[in-house]
Amino acid sequence: MNRPETFDTEALLDIVKDIYERQIPFDRVLGLKVESLTMEEAVVGFEMKPELVGNYVLGSLHGGVISSVLDALGGMTASTGVVKRMVGRPAEEIATALTRMGTIDLRIDYLRPGKGAYFKATGTIMRAGKKVAVTRMELHNDKGVLIAVGTGTYLVG
């Protein structure tokens, strides 16, 4: 009798990284690159490009780009809570759980214009329950200046 394929924590985190970096078309448009992903923190980076400009005079990021990046990062961060619960489960069950995730609420505080050549966003889990996860995200430019912060609530179960 064949047993369903199961994954350890590292393999599951690699699957989450692949989903957010390669499988979601909009994340590819944004140019998101996963710099690190652990059970405690997710970090993504992206380069400034003309298509992401919102204020053409300042040459700064569009607010929607900032919001989208922080939302994608929040979802990725919330995924680690799902991963923690799914270790040792069959691949189909994990895939189903990850595809059922969604944003419930997102709050973004824009602190400064998004000026820079490269941006890095970090996310951490504030609470991970069976149904809902709450995350905290920050976006910094290449000089370490804090551009925006966010809090996201995600359906995870």
Distances (CA, A) of 6 to 1, 77, 92, 127, 150: 15, 21, 9, 26, 34
pLDDT in tens, 115-140: 999 999 999 999 999 899 999 999 99
Residue 2 in any domain: the answer is no
Q: Please report whether residue 15 resides in a domain.
A: yes
Residue 1 included in any domain: no
The DSSP element (H or E) to which 19 belongs, if any, is none
List pLDDT tens digits, range 53-93.
999 999 999 999 999 999 999 999 999 888 888 778 887 78
Domain span at residue 64 reads 9-155
Parallel/antiparallel/unpaired status of strands 146-155 and 33-37: unpaired
- On whether residue 4 sits in a domain, the answer given is no
Question: Total structural domains in the chain?
Answer: 1
Instruction: Give this prediction's pTM.
Output: 0.91
Could you tell me the CATH number of the domain that includes residue 53?
A: 3.10.129.10
The pLDDT of residue 69 is 98
